[in-house]
Structure 1
Amino acid sequence: MTRLDGLVAYPIKSLDGVTVDRAVLGSNGVLRGDRSYALVEAGVDPETASVGGGGGYVNGKSEPAIHRLHASYELAGPADATPTAVTLERPATDDVDADAATFTLPEERDALAAWVGAYLGYAVDLVRDPAGFPDDRAAPGPTVTSDGTLVAVASWFDAIADAREVRRRFRPNVVLGDCPAFFEDRLFADHGEAVRVTAGEATVLGVNPCQRCVVPSRHPDTGEPLEAFRTRFVERRRETRPSWTESDRFDHDFRLMVNTVVPTASWGTTVAVGDRVRVEGTVPFDG
């Protein structure tokens, strides 16, 4: 019986995540509070910015130094990961000393941005949207992988400590348990279709396998790149790809996790660690 084994929200996009036992699926289908804040270059409109490197977001794709900022949070509630306060720690640079500071949100949003900007060496803004700032705007629901997948990927790299490090590199929202590695590849189908999945009170549609970027190749604490990460990953992904992965959406092997859409009828429902996960089958999907 496949079950929901872990939930992770990322209150500030590109910074540390926080594990929770349960989560409300808020507007847009995101885990409530997930990526509800984001750092952007000063003056950039997050609605028009690209999440790719150099697109205006201050994220791991464009700014390796962001990996060395560490965050811990006070949250709005047990099922709401919206941050009400965040403590940030930064390492020393040529221009600033190592430091830590706590900011109340949203009241001290500008002060937090100034503190981060001093570390990075350029001005940034901290922007907010309760609907979140997902990477995949067409499929903004929780991203899904499995415990078995994390363990398998960890085994491909001598320099990666364990499955927990893989989770921190790939940054999923939902981790499934009691299922084989790459089980989540069952949760997408061909173009024109989605896979209907139920968990707890919620219905979620699995849409497409997530195309990866440079971020998983960097150590989540230091930003140091792992040499030949992509080459090794693609080789091993191809060698271990299960038969159920076949789909016209899976057009290359640098893909891992599943992006989802949450139907509006499931906005406001709750999912929790331990919930049984049922794959209900494919449904038509225009997206």
Structure 2
Amino acid sequence: MTRVAELLAYPLKSCDGVAVDRAAIGPEGALRGDRTYALVEAGVDPERASVSGGGGYVNGKSEPAIHGLSAEYELAGPPDATPTAVTLSRPATERAPADERTFPLPDEGDALADWVGEYLGYAVDLVRDDAGGFPDDRAARGPTVVSRATLATIASWFEDVADATEMRRRLRPNVVLDDCPAFFEDRLFADHGEGVRVAVGDTALIGVNPCQRCVVPSRDPDTGAEIDGFRERFVRKRRETLPEWTASDRFDHDFRLMVNTVVEERSWGDVLAVGDEVTVDGVVTVDESGTPVAGADAAE
């Protein structure tokens, strides 16, 4: 019986995650507290910035030094992962000494930005969105899903990746499933115009899109050191191990892994929990945002 093994939120985008036992679905379908805060280059409008690298977000795609920061959080409390304080540690650089500091939030957001900017060598702003957060996929803001067996399999492809836990830190999912085969999550998307309804406990997620990967999984989550040839090996092994159930016109290249989801408004406020049973309820017709079309219970 497939079940939820881990729930993770990333209160400060591109920094460490935090494991929780219960997680509420917030406005716009994101886990409450996930990516609530983000760092951007000073003066950049986060709504217009690109998350794909070089577009204003200070993230792992554009700034390898961000991996050198470690973060621990004080949270609003279950099931809300919104941070009320973050403790950041940074290594020594030519620009700044090694340091650790706790920043209550939101009161010391500007101080946090100044401290990180000192480490990076350029000015940054800390921005906040309590509604949908700052996910990479702004259309499918629901929890991202992968299986533990998948993480273990991918970790085995690379000598420099210790285990499934390290691969999970590189891929940064919200929901990790257990008691299912590797690449089970590939069952959770279909063709364009379709979504897959997935029951997680009493909550329905709509699996929409296999996540297109970037440079981040190739980098050590603590140091930013990159594995040479990561993408090429990943693509080759992904192709070699591709299950027959992955067939979909959304899976248009082999550098995709994990599933982005949408949560219908009627499920905002629901709570996911470790141990919840997970069942696949079938394919539904969806609009361009991934939301099921009213009156269309199943795709033709």
Q: TM-score range by the shorter chain?
A: over 0.9
Rounded to whole Å, the distance in 1 between the matches of 2:274 and 2:221 is 24
Letter in 2 for 1:240: T
Match of 1:202 in 2: 203
Q: Compute the displacement of 1:95 (Å).
A: 1.5
3-state SS, counterpart of residue 233 of structure 1? helix
Task: State the match for 1:125 in structure 2.
Answer: 125
Distance in 2 (CA, whole Å) between partners of 1:13 and 1:210 is 17
Work out the CA distance in 1 between the residues paired with 2:160 and 2:120. Answer: 27
Percent of pairs with identical residues = 72
Alignment-mate amino acid for residue 45 of structure 1: D
- Where in structure 2 are the equivalents of 1:27-66 lying within 5 Å? 27-66=27-66
Following superposition of structure 1 onto structure 2, how do residues 4-153 of structure 1 map, counting pairs within 5 Å? Answer: 4-130=4-130, 131-153=132-154
2:295 matched residue in structure 1: none
Give structure 2 stretches of 5+ with no counterpart. Answer: 289-300
2: CA distance between counterparts of 1:25 and 1:200?
13
2:280 corresponds in structure 1 to: 279
User: Where do 1:145-224 residues align within 5 Å?
Assistant: 145-224=146-225
User: Which is further off, 51-60 or 197-206?
Assistant: 197-206
Residue segments in structure 1 that go unaligned for 5+ positions in a row: none
**Cα distance, 1:84 vs. partner?**
0.2
Answer yes or no: is the 8 Å Cα contact 1:201–1:266 preserved in 2.
no
Secondary structure (helix, strand or coil) at the match of 1:184 reads helix
Under a length normalisation based on structure 1, what TM-score does the superposition of the two structures give?
0.99
Aligned length: 287
Residue 210 of structure 1 aligns with an amino acid whose one-letter code is C
Which whole-Å CA distance do the structure 2 matches of 1:201 and 1:125 have between them? 38
Amino acid at match of 2:202: E
Runs of 4+ that moved beyond 2 A: none
Q: Is this contact kept in 2: 1:186–1:244, CA < 8 A? A: yes
How big is each residue's C-alpha offset from its partner over 1:23-49, in whole Å with a ceiling of 9 and x where there is no partner?
000011111000000000000000110
Q: Deviations along 1:62-120, whole A, 9 cap, x unmatched?
A: 00000000000000012111000000000000011100000000000000000000000
SS at match of 1:167: helix
SS in 1 for 2:185: helix
Deviation at 1:201, TM superposition (A): 2.5
Say which SS state the counterpart of residue 84 (structure 1) adopts. Answer: strand
What SS class does the counterpart of residue 206 from structure 1 fall into? strand
What is the CA–CA distance in structure 2 between the aligned matches of 1:240 and 1:151, rounded to whole Å? 13
**SS of 2:199 mapped into structure 1:** strand
State the match for 1:226 in structure 2: 227
Give SS of 1:205's match: strand
Task: Write the distance in 2 (CA, Å) between the matches of 1:262 and 1:88.
Answer: 32
Q: Distance in 1 between matches of 2:99 and 2:35?
A: 24
Partner secondary structure for residue 223 of structure 1: coil
Q: Distance between the aligned counterparts of 2:143 and 2:276, measured in 1?
A: 15
CA distance in 1 between counterparts of 2:200 and 2:53 reads: 34
Please name the residue that 2:263 is paired with. Answer: 262
Q: Deviations over 1:163-190 (max 9, x none)?
A: 0000000000000110000000000000
The CA RMSD over aligned residues, in Å, is 0.5
